[in-house]
Structure 1
Amino acid sequence: MRLLLIRHGQTPSNVRGVLDTLVPGPGLTELGLEQAAAIPAAVAGEGIGALFASVQARAQLTAGPLAASLGLPVHVREGLREVIAGDLDMKSDAASIEMYHDVAFSWAAGDGERRMPGGETGVETFGRFDRVIDEAAASGNGTVACVAHGLIIRAWTAARSSNVDAAMASRNVLRNTGVVTLEGSPAVGWTVLSWAGTALGGRRLDEGASIGPGSLPD
């Protein structure tokens, strides 16, 4: 199975640099709508057979143009929502953003029982995401796309793939409407084929940009 994990388009909270993981959360900026409209052409050759999106408005708005172009429904799932920031929600200071990333990538490195302040543990977060991926795999489609969020895509990929670890994922941002493409299944595991359009085996993944404003989770 081929799995496309697509980050949503730009939001006002992205522009403001705010940790915003509430539901339904913000919509898209004008640029975000343009980014969403460009997705169908960008993935036209993928043969997507099913499309999922998180319960947060920005993911569903991003999925809309792709759903229309494919003639597919959008399956909205709670499990795809962003890593819940808990006590850090709506903060924009550097210490809060650093803690948010540090906790999520510690989960990917194996400390799944650690809890986000006022939020979930890694076991809970990855568990809910896993259940959606299990459903996608059970659909029988050769290629499935999920529109979700930057940090959960990066951390889950690091935890579940054979060729991207927490250190690599933490160093490589996934900008708005960036795509992580994986191949495999829940039973046999996953291999990352490309990260935001860069094929693994070409430019080394760990040569990407460091964490910065583009890596904010919402």
Structure 2
Amino acid sequence: MINHTNSADATSKRRRARGLKGLGVALTAGALLIGSALPAWAAENMTITFIRHGESYGNLSGIGDTSTPGPVLTPKGQQQAKDIAAELGDNNYDGIYASTMVRTQQTAVPMSQYLGLPIQVLPGLQEIEAGMYEGTPEKQAPFGYLTAPLAWAGLKFTPPPNVSILPITPNLDAFIPSAVGSTTGLNGHEFEARVNGALKQMYDNGDRNAAVFSHGGTIMIWTMMNAKNLSVEQKIMLFAQHPLSNTNYVVVEGNPTDGWNLVNWNGVEIAGMQKGPIENVLTQVRTLSRQLGGVVQDVAAAFKTGDVGKILTAINHGAVDAMFSTAKFARAINAQVIGGVTSAISDLQKKLAPPAPAAGTQTTAPNSGAAVSPAGFSAPAPAAAENNAPVTGKAPAASKLSDAKAADAPASDPKANEVKGDDVKVDANAKADDNKADQAKADPKAAKDAAKAESKAEAKAAADAKKAEAKAKRDAAKAAKAAAKESAKAGAGASND
């Protein structure tokens, strides 16, 4: 007699197996579709955000320590690591890298946790070895440890008492002696090759928006050697006036074949190098698509095993990962696109605001340290000669280039100038108000006319600001629409392939 119950169970199992197999094939096809579409969306260039590690116990000692694994972070350094993750995390990096030195890996932990990405340790990102200068005071670095690295970048310090930075012909053959009297040591060719090798590894991994935790000397010297859009004057200005402190960052863009351009030096932006809203959206679309593609591939791999437990686990983890990736995408779009539009509107409103009434006294403090910003920089360069002569590149008392210690601030502190400027502005505004009152008493009609004119100007400025805000919103909508079209176009092109 035929056992109909067993037969039905067998049929049900076969159908379920066929269903799982079919779903696995569909997921695999989806993964291949997403993977094949990525090259169509991705630009050839990649963006790298170098981040110097937080304060280490080596920094506190004032003694050069470039050994591996090296000193760990202080409590202050650990807090700096959290702060930089909060500041830069919504750039939604697609890869996180650190050097072989423990202080960079510890600094990368909060960013790794925020983005849910692993820290990939790469040789080549470590600090420039001090060689015979290991264990020497950092204040001696400009005339010892840093002599060869500066020569690789085409710069040198002049000796005291008039310390400054001068341009020279780049010399990659210069080396840091490995020991006293040694005729061998790390030279510029070797240093550049090892950093470039690490960057190529990131590029080959498919990352196009990477956060790289490294060291002050490595970041500064490599950038000076490789940024095609930096002039000698700009190099001197950056070294002298903007040396990297703990968790300062540098952004470059390019690729291993065509080279690199500097985009941002810890807030000092290079004119013409900033991405527009559409480019930012496309970068984030690529990151999201790549992460979702990884989820699909993991689930598809589980289906291939035929193990129901593994399949359910993969689906569960995949759903969580997909939601997390989508949330990161939304945060990035909000921060980079909507936040950028809001900032632009705010800047425009400030520009359209009616000018302050003329007063008989100066309303702002003269900046005796102001200088013409070197070509290409959108931020003014502080602390130069009073007669606006070209930047001389005078070095701060202690260099921040090496990792041994975060150096003291330059003698001319811009914040001090700002405080003085505010004080003078308050006094001058008070005098201007007194002048207004005197004028009103002397000529009531003139005062009334002036008030009308001021009210009219304010109304016009408000109307102009509203128009600008509406235009900015339209531009943002166009950017999002263009990104959606680009995404659909890329998907259609991939399916045709």
Are 2:89 and 2:115, in contact at CA under 8 Å, matched by a contact in 1? no
Is the aligned partner of 1:202 residue 2:378?
yes
Using the alignment, how far apart are the partners of 1:206 and 1:129 within structure 2? 31
Counterpart of 2:105? Answer: 60
Are 2:53 and 2:246, in contact at CA under 8 Å, matched by a contact in 1? yes
Is the aligned partner of 1:185 residue 2:233?
no
Using the alignment, how far apart are the partners of 2:152 and 2:67 within structure 1? 21
Counterpart of 1:120? Answer: 186
Are 1:19 and 1:97, in contact at CA under 8 Å, matched by a contact in 2? no
Q: Which runs of 4+ in 1 moved over 4 A?
A: 204-209
Deviates more, 1:11-20 or 1:81-90: 11-20
Is the aligned partner of 1:138 residue 2:204?
yes
Deviates more, 1:154-163 or 1:10-19: 10-19
Deviation at residue 213 of structure 1 after TM alignment = 4.9
Are 1:173 and 1:210, in contact at CA under 8 Å, matched by a contact in 2? no
Using the alignment, how far apart are the partners of 2:394 and 2:267 within structure 1? 14
Stretches of structure 1 lacking an aligned partner (at least 5 in a row): none
Are 2:63 and 2:136, in contact at CA under 8 Å, matched by a contact in 1? yes
Counterpart of 1:19? Answer: 64
Deviation at residue 137 of structure 1 after TM alignment = 1.6
Instruction: Tell me the SS of whatever aligns to 1:79.
Output: coil
Using the alignment, how far apart are the partners of 1:145 and 1:78 within structure 2? 15
Deviates more, 1:167-176 or 1:56-65: 167-176
Q: Structure 1 residues 79, 67: CA separation in 2 closer, same or farther (over 3 Å shift)?
A: same
Q: Structure 1 residues 189, 7: CA separation in 2 closer, same or farther (over 3 Å shift)?
A: same
Using the alignment, how far apart are the partners of 1:47 and 1:95 within structure 2? 39
Deviates more, 1:93-102 or 1:10-19: 93-102
1:170 to 225, 239, 246: 239
Counterpart of 1:10? Answer: 55
Matched pairs, number: 218
Counterpart of 1:79? Answer: 124
Using the alignment, how far apart are the partners of 1:204 and 1:138 within structure 2? 37
RMSD of Structure 2 on Structure 1 (CA): 2.0
Is the aligned partner of 1:157 residue 2:343?
no
Larger radius of gyration: 2
TM-score if structure 1 supplies the norm length?
Answer: 0.92
Deviation at residue 204 of structure 1 after TM alignment = 4.4
Give per-residue Cα distances to partners, 1:55-101, cap 9 Å, x unaligned. 01101000111111111111111210000001101110643453212
Using the alignment, how far apart are the partners of 2:188 and 2:98 within structure 1? 20
Are 1:14 and 1:216, in contact at CA under 8 Å, matched by a contact in 2? no
Which of structures 1 and 2 has the larger relative contact order (alpha carbons within 8 angstroms, sep 6+)?
A: 1
Instruction: Tell me the SS of whatever aligns to 1:120.
Output: strand
- Residue 11 of structure 1 aligns with an amino acid whose one-letter code is S
TM-score if structure 2 supplies the norm length?
Answer: 0.42
Are 1:168 and 1:206, in contact at CA under 8 Å, matched by a contact in 2? no
Greater helix content: 2
Give per-residue Cα distances to partners, 1:41-65, cap 9 Å, x unaligned. 1112312001110001101000111
Using the alignment, how far apart are the partners of 1:162 and 1:206 within structure 2? 23
Alignment of 1:26-105 (within 5 A): 26-92=71-137, 94-105=139-150
Counterpart of 2:214? Answer: 148
- Residue 170 of structure 1 aligns with an amino acid whose one-letter code is F
Using the alignment, how far apart are the partners of 1:133 and 1:58 within structure 2? 20
Deviates more, 1:198-207 or 1:78-87: 198-207
- The percentage of counterpart residues that share the same residue type is 30
Instruction: Tell me the SS of whatever aligns to 2:175.
Output: coil
Q: Structure 1 residues 205, 106: CA separation in 2 closer, same or farther (over 3 Å shift)?
A: farther
Using the alignment, how far apart are the partners of 1:71 and 1:93 within structure 2? 36
Deviation at residue 39 of structure 1 after TM alignment = 1.8
Deviates more, 1:47-56 or 1:205-214: 205-214
Using the alignment, how far apart are the partners of 1:93 and 1:4 within structure 2? 26
Deviation at residue 197 of structure 1 after TM alignment = 2.1
Using the alignment, how far apart are the partners of 1:199 and 1:21 within structure 2? 30
2:171 to 103, 111, 116: 111
Stretches of structure 2 lacking an aligned partner (at least 5 in a row): 1-45, 155-169, 179-184, 271-376, 384-392, 405-497
